[in-house]
């Protein structure tokens, strides 16, 4: 009798798992297929290194986050990022700055080469934001610090991009977040072009 109950429980649990939707995996497009961002100056002699993007523990996971109308942060149950937002944004920044032509070279964090400037950044927001009226946006917010070889902060800037979400689900959110990420990177090129003249 006990054996029959155990078999029934195991089989019913197996059926429950079979009905779960498949996990959807989304990626942040670093802009390889995009045209070059607005170049604000001719290629200069300056070499810049990009420090690792910092952010809260929430941005170190593959969860796709959303903030509901009550300002509670949640994650989509059956959708994930292919890579954590802080690593994805690292790639977006490297690709965008390299394509901009502003610098002689753009060095990754692991490079042992000597750079003239260091770009530090903190990711503050990266997700799907729902408003009380039912509308929603994909949001990316970052603060950047430009540091010289004497470890002095030359300039700092907070950049924010909010893009409308067409469908209020993970697919629509990731599309808008992708657009916001590329917008922040493009605005970064404009800002760096102005402060490195």
Largest CA distance in the chain: 82
Distance CA 114, CA 112 (A): 7
What are the φ and ψ backbone dihedral angles of 28, each rounded to 5 degrees? -90, 120
User: What is the mean predicted confidence (pLDDT) over 122-133?
Assistant: 95
Distance CA 143, CA 141 (A): 7
Distance CA 33, CA 12 (A): 47
The burial of 185, by beta-carbon neighbours within 10 Å (0-12 exposed, 13-18 middle, 19 or more buried), is given as buried
pLDDT single digits (tens) 10-30: 555 555 556 778 899 999 998
Query: Of 109, 104, 89, 108, which is closest to residue 188 (Cα–Cα)?
Result: 89
User: Does residue 84 contact residue 56 with C-beta atoms inside 8 Å?
Assistant: no
pLDDT single digits (tens) 139-177: 999 999 999 999 999 999 999 999 999 998 999 999 999
The answer, yes or no, to whether residue 37 has pLDDT greater than 90, is: no
Please name every residue paired with 128 in a beta bridge, in sequence order, or none if there are none.
66, 138
Per-domain residue ranges of the chain: 2-195
Binned at pLDDT 50, 70 and 90, residue 5 comes out as: low
User: Does residue 183 contact residue 142 with C-beta atoms inside 8 Å?
Assistant: no
Query: Of 109, 110, 111, 128, which is closest to residue 119 (Cα–Cα)?
Result: 109
Cβ-based neighbour number of residue 17 at 10 Å:
7
pLDDT single digits (tens) 38-87: 554 457 799 999 999 999 999 999 999 999 888 899 999 999 999 999 99
Architecture of domain 2-195: 3-Layer(aba) Sandwich (3.40)
């Amino acid at each position: 009798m006990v054996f029959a109950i155990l078999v029934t429980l195991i089989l019913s649990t197996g059926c429950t798992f079979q009905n779960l939707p498949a996990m959807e995996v989304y990626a942040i497009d670093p802009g390889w297929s995009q045209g070059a961002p607005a170049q604000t100056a001719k290629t200069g002699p300056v070499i810049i290194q990009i420090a690792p993007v910092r952010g809260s523990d929430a941005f170190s996971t593959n969860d796709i986050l959303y903030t509901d109308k009550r300002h509670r942060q949640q994650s989509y149950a059956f959708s994930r990022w292919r890579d954590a937002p802080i690593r994805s944004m690292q790639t977006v920044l490297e690709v965008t700055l390299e394509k901009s032509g502003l610098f002689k070279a753009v060095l990754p964090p692991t490079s042992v080469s000597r750079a003239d400037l260091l770009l530090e950044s903190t990711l503050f927001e990266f997700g799907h934001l729902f408003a009380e009226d039912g509308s929603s946006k994909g949001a990316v917010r970052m603060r950047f610090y430009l540091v010289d070889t004497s470890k002095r902060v030359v300039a700092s800037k907070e950049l924010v991009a909010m893009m409308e979400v067409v469908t209020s689900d993970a697919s629509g959110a990731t599309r808008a977040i992708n657009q916001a990420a590329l917008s922040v990177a493009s605005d970064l090129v404009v800002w760096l072009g102005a402060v490195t003249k």
